[in-house]
């Protein structure tokens, strides 16, 4: 941490021994020259961004990071561009500019840019420094922390990738002022997930403060970003490579990924599919006798109040089931699910009655949203 800072920056640590790193959270960090420079050590920095985010934030970031060699790569916007082709494009720019092993790759954008830039940092010269500057709520509460990087393959989402932890995550909460409302709601799905998975106090706080969050109230947003990062940092510190506990972060995602892939990643935002997936995970937990009807109703109400879908829409239940069978958590042909014993208490199991899964899928799919 730099000395002589005038304003306190809220800082958390992801504890991974020699690969530990800070998460800095504050409004206006993109303009804090001293803070930025103390966390970006390299002289040569490749900044990966996209056509939406770069015009908004690249000028301020570049001004704050001088003097050093900054080379931007501006990608087209959208999940459809999280491809091997764009990974190759980033690597080409690194090579063309003769960036050495002591360079850094910096991601300025949402989860798409972060995943791509991180994979480029993981693979260039077998791994160079990486800095995350996430600008969506989803990336600030989830994807920028934890070191999962990668790209999509026509055969599946995030099929190609690597674990590569960043050297710092710099969260300027003021970037959320330009985020479209639909993207903000998608990010809230991951925040609800954290509460539901492991923090009943956070879940109850969300029930009480959802309107402030939806209105973009800065203090409410800062609170959920900090708490979400605390939860994720602690889990990643204990289980970096998802050998156990980290899989609980996939609550709602087995259903959600199935919705996304069944609709070819074109209709649903990731967070929207997670919202519906959380409702389905709660309904499945109720069908198995683990969760009370009252708690399942609380989940559904919060998701709906957040403006997120609570139903898989017109995707058929058989189609959903087929897509769930492609999930990375399938073991020995059996779909493993993250279920709930209560609000704030998730667990992973493959021991559930098939009828419970069938009835949940039938109840939450196959009709208009």
- Positions touching ligand NAD (CB under 6 A) are 50, 52-53, 56, 77, 79, 82, 109-113, 115, 135-136, 138-139, 142-143, 146, 148, 158, 175, 178-179, 183, 186, 270-271
- Of ligand GLY, ligand NAD, none, which one sits near residue 188, judging by CB under 5 to 8 A according to partner kind? none
H or E element in which residue 13 lies = strand 10-14
Alpha helices in the chain (DSSP H): 33-39, 53-65, 84-96, 111-123, 137-138, 181-198, 200-214, 218-238, 253-262, 270-287, 293-305, 317-324, 354-363
Q: Is 253 a catalytic residue?
A: yes
Q: Which does 86 bind (CB under 5 to 8 A by kind): ligand GLY, ligand NAD, none?
A: none
| Cα 32 to Cα 27: distance, rounded to the nearest angstrom | 10
CB of 178 to ligand GLY, least distance (A): 24
Q: Which of residues 245-264 bind ligand GLY (CB under 6 A)?
A: 246, 249
Residue 34 — φ and ψ, nearest 5°? -65, -40
Answer yes or no whether residue 146 interacts with ligand GLY by CB under 6 A.
yes
Say how far apart CA 254 and CA 129 lie, in whole Å. 32
Partner in contact with 162, chosen from ligand NAD, ligand GLY, none, beta carbon below 5 to 8 Å by kind: none
For ligand GLY, what does the binding mask look like between residues 124 and 143, x meaning CB under 6 A? ------------------x-
Q: Is 187 in the site for ligand GLY (CB under 6 A)?
A: no
Residue 204 half-sphere exposure toward CB, CA atoms < 13 A: 6
Two tokens at 234?
A: 């602690």
Residue 139, binding choice from ligand NAD, ligand GLY, none, Cβ under 5 to 8 Å by partner class: ligand NAD
The secondary element (H helix, E strand) that includes residue 107 is strand 104-109
Kindly list the catalytic residues.
126, 148, 190, 232, 242, 246, 250, 253, 257, 270
């Amino acid at each position: 941490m730099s000395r002589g800072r005038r304003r306190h920056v809220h800082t958390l640590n992801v504890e991974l021994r020699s690969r530990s790193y800070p998460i800095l959270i504050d409004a206006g960090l993109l303009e804090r020259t001293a803070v930025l420079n103390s966390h970006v050590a390299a002289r040569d920095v490749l900044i990966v961004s996209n056509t939406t985010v770069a015009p908004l934030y690249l000028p301020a970031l570049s001004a704050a990071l001088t003097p050093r060699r900054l080379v931007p790569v501006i990608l087209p916007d959208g999940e459809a561009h999280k491809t091997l082709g764009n990974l190759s494009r980033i690597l080409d720019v690194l090579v063309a500019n003769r960036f050495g092993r002591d360079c850094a790759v910096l991601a300025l954008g949402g989860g798409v840019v972060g995943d791509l830039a991180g994979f480029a940092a993981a693979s260039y010269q077998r791994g160079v420094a990486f800095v995350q500057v996430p600008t969506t709520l989803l990336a600030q509460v989830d994807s920028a922390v934890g070191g999962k990087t990668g790209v999509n393959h026509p055969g599946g989402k995030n099929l190609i990738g690597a674990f590569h932890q960043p050297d710092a995550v710099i969260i300027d909460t003021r970037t959320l002022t330009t985020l479209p409302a639909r993207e903000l709601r998608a990010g809230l799905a991951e925040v609800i997930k954290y509460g539901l998975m492991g923090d009943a106090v956070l879940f109850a706080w969300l029930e009480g403060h959802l309107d402030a969050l939806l209105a973009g109230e800065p203090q409410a947003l800062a609170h959920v970003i900090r708490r979400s990062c605390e939860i994720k940092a602690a889990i990643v510190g204990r289980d970096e490579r998802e050998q156990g506990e980290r899989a609980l972060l996939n609550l709602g995602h087995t259903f959600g990924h199935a919705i996304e892939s069944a609709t070819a990643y074109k209709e649903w935002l990731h967070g929207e599919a997670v919202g519906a997936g959380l409702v389905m995970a709660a309904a499945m937990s109720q069908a198995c006798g683990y969760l009370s009807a009252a708690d399942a109703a609380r989940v559904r109400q919060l998701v709906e109040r957040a403006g997120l879908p609570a139903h898989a829409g017109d995707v058929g239940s058989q189609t959903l089931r087929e897509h769930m069978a492609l999930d990375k958590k399938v073991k020995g042909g059996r779909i493993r699910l993250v279920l709930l014993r209560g609000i704030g208490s998730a667990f992973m199991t493959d021991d559930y009655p098939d009828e419970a899964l069938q009835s949940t899928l039938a109840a939450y799919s196959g009709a208009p949203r």
